[in-house]
Structures are given as structure tokens and as C-alpha cells.
Amino acid sequence: METVIYLDNSLSMHAKGDKGALLEKSKHDLIDSYQNVENTITLITNNDFIKDLQLSNLKSVLLKIGYSPLKKDLKTILLQMDNLKNDKTKIKRDIILISDFQTINGDLNTLNLDRLDAYNFVQVEPIKAENISIDSVWTKEIDFQNLQLKALIRSHQTEIENLSISLFLDNKLFGKTTVSLDKNKSVEILFSIPNAKNIIGKFSLQDKQLLFDNEFYFAVSKKEKSKVLVIGATTAYLSKIYTEDEFDFASTTIDRLDYSKIHDQNLIILNSLVSIPETLINSLSIHIKYGGNLVVIPNSESDVSYYDK
């Protein structure tokens, strides 16, 4: 029988169990369990993949496994295992997954498990699930130049005073704050950040007693300006409505219209056109069909038959 083992070596496995750190205990349990087994073994961790591992090398390989900041979701792990299969030879495999399952996302009931394989989900648990974690991060736009960046800090079976939290934007320290938490409570923190470009950032907890789940990475994409094209008469008030800080505004007459730019616009405004060329009507129909927006400002002399098309 072939054996495939996933050993979670994420930072949360640093938590203490009844016989030491969860990862170290798991490694020694595997060494003890496979001393006299002649199975072919494939070992998967969050940052390594070792196929056809010989039993004579298992102990030394396991003892070298350290902690990894990487975290895999359950479906990715099972997909890796599924890719190991030999389609021509259907062999029952012993699948073992060892984890605290705190950082492994996925509902076991929704997983597509191979009926031929034997699955063993081994959940290791700390003595006390004491932790402070960054639960979630989200943004709210104040205006085009500024964002509110919020984070929810949650307590798990512990209380803490004056926990320092740092915000880094593009690897540079942007700001700091402190929070105090009672057991199983949460608190929301807020920073105002510039909305000037795409941002890669992270929140970081600074507490020597907390050795895992201390960082939360996020990305904020700069909202693109909406493209607005006015076709027809030049009107000053439209440029005052669609200001350059929020809109990519352009204006053109029909005789100078570049038809290739129509389908790139979010909004097209027909301003005081007396008549509309058939070519423009066809282009606008396609623009609307694919989700574009059209505003018509009629002229008192407009031929309404054009708008019926």
C-alpha cells in the first residue's frame, strides 16, 4: 500500500500540546509509527514535496522540517495528492493529513474524496487555544484620494493590554496603534491611508508571547477612473461634473470622432446632436450591448427618429 502524508508545518503548529510543540510531537509520532513499515511514502508539507521517500531516510527528513509561513488550503493539498495517482493502476492509498486545521480552509463535507483511498484526518490541538489574531481587513472609500482601512482584532481565550499593532504599506512602516482585549472579545482599528496607487500591505502584531498568526497581508487596488466621452457640442458644465480627479473625460465632435475609442468608454454622452450617423448608431448599439452606458442630451432641432434606432 502506498502512503501519502501531509504534515502541517505552518506557524500555528508552534502551539504547545501536552507533549511539547504540535509540530515536534507530530514528527516523533510519525517516526514511531513507521519504524517497521515498508510502504512507499510521499511526504507533503506547506513548503516541500518529497516523493518515494525511503523508510531509512524518513527520520532524518522529518527532523529537518521547520516552520513555514506558507499556508495551504485543504483542496490544494488533496489536489496535490490526486496528481500523484497512476491512472493505469488503481491502488488503494493510505492518506494521512496531520494539522491543527486552524489555517487549513475547507469543509470536509464538500471535498471530493477518492472512494478507493483511506483518509485519516488527524487534528492535533494545543493545551489551551490562547491567541490574539487579526480576523479580517477591509476598506471603505472616503473620497478618491483617501481610504479608511479597518482591521478586526480578535481574542481567543486570552486577555491582553496595550498590544502593539503596526501597519506596513509597501514594506514601509505607515503607522502604529495599541489595543487592549478581554477574553473572547474583538476590537476594530482604523487607519486613513492614501488612495493614490495599488498598495501591498500588512498588519503585524508585536507580542513576544504570541508566536503565530501575527501577520495579515492584504492588497488594495487603485480604483480606475471612469472613462467619459462627450460626442457633440462642447459644454463647460459637463467638464465641471466629470472632474479630472475622478474621471477620464474627453470631448469630440462627430467629424473628429475616433470610433475605435467608443468601446473603451464607461459612459458616452451625445450632446445636442441634430442627427446621428448610421455608423455611430451601430457602434453605440454594441457599446450598450456589452454593458456600456449612454446619455442623450437632445437638441431642440434633433430628429427623434435617430433615437428610436
Whether 13 and 110 map to the same domain: the answer is yes
CA 207 – CA 24 distance, rounded (Å): 23
- The answer to whether the beta carbons of residues 39 and 150 sit under 8 Å apart is no
Q: Give the Cα separation of 156 and 205 in Å (integer).
A: 14
Please give the DSSP secondary-structure letter assigned to residue 62.
Answer: H
Q: pLDDT tens digit string along 218-264?
A: 888 766 788 999 998 877 888 888 888 778 899 999 888 998 889 88
Sign of CA dihedral 284, 285, 291, 293: positive
My answer on whether 28 and 90 are in the same domain is yes
Assign 195 a pLDDT band (cuts: 50, 70, 90).
confident
Does the structure show a pLDDT above 90 at 308? Answer: no
Which has the closest alpha carbon to 251: 235, 263, 240, 264? 235
Domain of 63 in residue numbering reads as: 2-123
Q: Among 91, 123, 155, which residue terminates a domain? A: 123
Whether residues 63 and 140 fall in one domain: no
Q: Could you report the per-residue pLDDT of 261-273, keeping only the tens digit for each?
A: 898 899 999 988 8
Asked whether 120 and 26 are in contact (CB, 8 A), the reply is no
Task: Write the Ramachandran bin of 162: left for phi over 0, alpha for psi from -120 to 50, otherwise beta.
Answer: left
Is residue 34 domain-shared with residue 93, that is, in the same domain?
A: yes
Q: Are 10 and 26 in contact (CB under 8 A)?
A: no
Q: Which of 204, 220, 236 is the last residue of a domain?
A: 220
User: Which one-letter DSSP state was computed for residue 72?
Assistant: -
Please check whether residues 206 and 293 belong to one and the same domain: no
* 29 and 107 together in one domain: yes
Whether 94 and 43 share a structural domain: yes
Q: What is the pLDDT of residues 81-122, one digit of tens each?
A: 888 776 545 678 889 999 988 755 555 555 667 777 888 889
pTM of structure:
0.47
Domain count, the chain: 3
% of the chain beyond a pLDDT of 70: 86
Domain match, 24 and 54 both: yes
Distance CA 70, CA 242 (A): 45
Which CATH number is 175's domain given? 2.60.40.10
Q: How far is CA 96 from the centre of its chain?
A: 27
Say yes or no: 253 and 158 in one domain: no
Q: What count of other Cβ atoms lies within 10 Å of the Cβ of residue 133? A: 19
Indicate whether 169 and 259 sit together in one domain: no
Kindly state the cell numbers that stand for 15.
502551539
Q: What distance, in Å, lies between the first and last C-alpha atoms of the chain? A: 71
The stretches of 65-218 forming alpha helices (DSSP H) are 74-82
Q: Are 163 and 262 contained in the same domain?
A: no
Residue at a domain's end among 67, 93, 123:
123
